[in-house]
């Protein structure tokens, strides 16, 4: 059976607030169906012309940008996906090109929701084959709108794929203990630490024993936070650095050394967090694994060519391609796994220093290199670290941790 339907429409949207106008042409076609594969593919093209008011009577619309979005919507065996590509052409926008580029950046975040994520490579309704029985029990096919496992067989944790109670009961029985490390250096302590700790007490591994290890240059200013039973806090004094980049990179050596001297004797698992974040929902034992990476909220629906890997061949963090783009705001695992991660990143940073170079995104670039060479055993979806700047997404059903408001102009000077 073959179906061929085409619809053509044009839409003109004036915007008084931004002084911009959008003229779009939408050409939509459904191609053909194959009942034997339960396959339907739809393809459409969207052309957006963004113009700015020039202020000259009779020429209020000046075409500046052409954004072409080509998509295929595919349904195969009850699974659905978008496969999209974009192409942008900048035209003469004179002095207002900066505004147009800013507008386009915001628009691209909206269109990313149409971009295809990869799909779990297992057959429909097949379970993971894992030594971890909890991961093998995950309901991967309850979320056909997102990728729920990797090509190397690691789960990607999304709301709806797991039973929180199963994970909590397992780790309570195993008497699992978790270390949380966070660096609060300089003004970051005053601005962020108290809310970070208070929210962690509400939502982070609440069924398990947790110790917060706070690395700071001003221990006397660490706020007093009421802790639940089986929760503890330890403050470790470290030196401040002249540059925030050095603070970010040197934490890898500090964590590795502290695992060796202390954490390995007290905890099975460790999670490392940036301080400028706030817990707003369950961040529970389902996140525990041998090595755990986090999908970056800004890139989880981007094409690999758009990932901001370090492209400098001289850097130890150099990458041509990869699986995902991981966010260094959160990583974790067993103490052995995290020790391997932090030692690898520190060694890469020191190799770069010898060449007087610095990776594009500092320790995050080296973290991505590690996870490319040594695949994580578990991947967290962007639910576990979301940015409200991105706005609403249908596939983000819950928020577990949110980026706090950034004050880079003040805190990084």
Instruction: Show binding-site residues for Mn(2+).
Output: 274, 276
**Residues forming beta bridges with residue 65, ordered by sequence position:** 50, 90
CA distances from 130 to 127, 138, 154, 170, 377 (A): 9, 11, 8, 16, 10
C-alpha to C-alpha distance for 90 and 332, rounded to whole angstroms:
42
**Quick one: DSSP state of residue 253?**
H
Decide if 343 is catalytic: no
User: In this structure, what token pair is assigned to residue 163?
Assistant: 């039973």
Q: Which residues of 196-354 form beta strands (DSSP E)?
A: 210-216, 231-237, 269-273, 277-279, 291-294, 330-334
Q: Please enumerate, by residue number, every residue annotated as part of a binding site for UDP-N-acetyl-alpha-D-galactosamine.
A: 183-185, 188, 274-276
Please tell me the total number of residues recorded for the chain in this structure: 413
CA distance linking residue 213 with residue 182, whole number of Å:
6
- Residues making up the annotated binding site are 183-185, 188, 274-276, 296, 308, 364
Q: In the structure encoding, which two tokens stand for residue 140, read together?
A: 């991967």
> Among residues 159, 343, 364, 383, which one is catalytic?
364
Terminal CA-CA length for the chain: 65
How many angstroms from the chain centroid is the CA of residue 362?
A: 16
Q: Taking every pair of C-alpha atoms in the chain, what is the biggest distance, in angstroms? A: 76
Give the H or E element holding residue 339.
helix 335-354
Q: Which positions are catalytic? A: 364
């Amino acid at each position: 059976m073959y179906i061929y339907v085409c619809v053509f429409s044009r839409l003109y949207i004036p915007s008084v607030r931004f002084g911009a106008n959008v003229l779009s042409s939408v050409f939509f076609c459904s191609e053909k169906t194959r009942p034997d594969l339960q396959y339907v593919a739809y393809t459409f093209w969207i052309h957006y012309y963004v113009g700015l008011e020039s202020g000259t009577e009779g020429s209020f619309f000046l075409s500046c940008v052409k954004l072409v979005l080509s998509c295929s919507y595919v349904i195969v065996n009850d699974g659905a996906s978008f496969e999209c590509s974009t192409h942008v052409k900048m035209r003469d926008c004179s002095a207002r090109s900066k505004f147009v580029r800013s507008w386009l950046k915001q628009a691209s975040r909206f269109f990313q929701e149409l971009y295809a994520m990869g799909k779990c490579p297992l057959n429909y309704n097949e379970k993971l084959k894992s030594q971890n029985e909890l991961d093998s029990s995950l309901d991967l096919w309850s979320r056909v709108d997102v990728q729920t496992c990797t090509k190397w067989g690691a789960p990607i944790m999304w709301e709806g794929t797991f039973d929180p109670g199963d994970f909590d009961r397992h780790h309570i029985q195993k008497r699992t203990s978790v270390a949380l490390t966070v660096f609060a250096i300089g003004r970051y302590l005053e601005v962020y630490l108290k809310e970070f700790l208070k929210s962690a007490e509400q939502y982070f591994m609440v069924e398990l024993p947790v110790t917060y290890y706070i690395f700071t240059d001003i221990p006397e200013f660490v706020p007093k936070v009421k802790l639940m039973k089986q929760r503890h806090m330890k403050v470790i004094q470290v030196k401040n650095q002249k540059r925030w980049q050095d603070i970010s990179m040197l934490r890898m050596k500090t964590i590795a050394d502290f695992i060796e001297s202390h954490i390995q004797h007290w905890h099975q698992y460790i999670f490392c967090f940036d301080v400028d974040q706030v817990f707003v929902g369950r961040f529970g034992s389902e996140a525990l694994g041998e090595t755990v990476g986090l999908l970056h909220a800004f890139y989880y629906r981007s094409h690999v060519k758009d990932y901001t890997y370090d492209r400098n061949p001289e850097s130890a963090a150099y990458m041509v391609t990869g699986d995902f783009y991981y966010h260094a705001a959160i990583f974790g695992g067993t103490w052995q796994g995290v020790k391997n991660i932090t030692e690898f990143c520190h060694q890469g940073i020191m190799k770069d220093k010898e060449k007087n170079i610095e990776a594009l995104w500092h320790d995050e670039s080296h973290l991505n290199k590690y996870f490319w060479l040594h695949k994580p055993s578990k991947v967290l979806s962007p639910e576990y670290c979301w940015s409200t700047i991105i706005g609403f997404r249908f596939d983000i059903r819950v928020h577990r941790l949110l980026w706090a408001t950034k004050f880079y102009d003040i805190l990084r000077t």
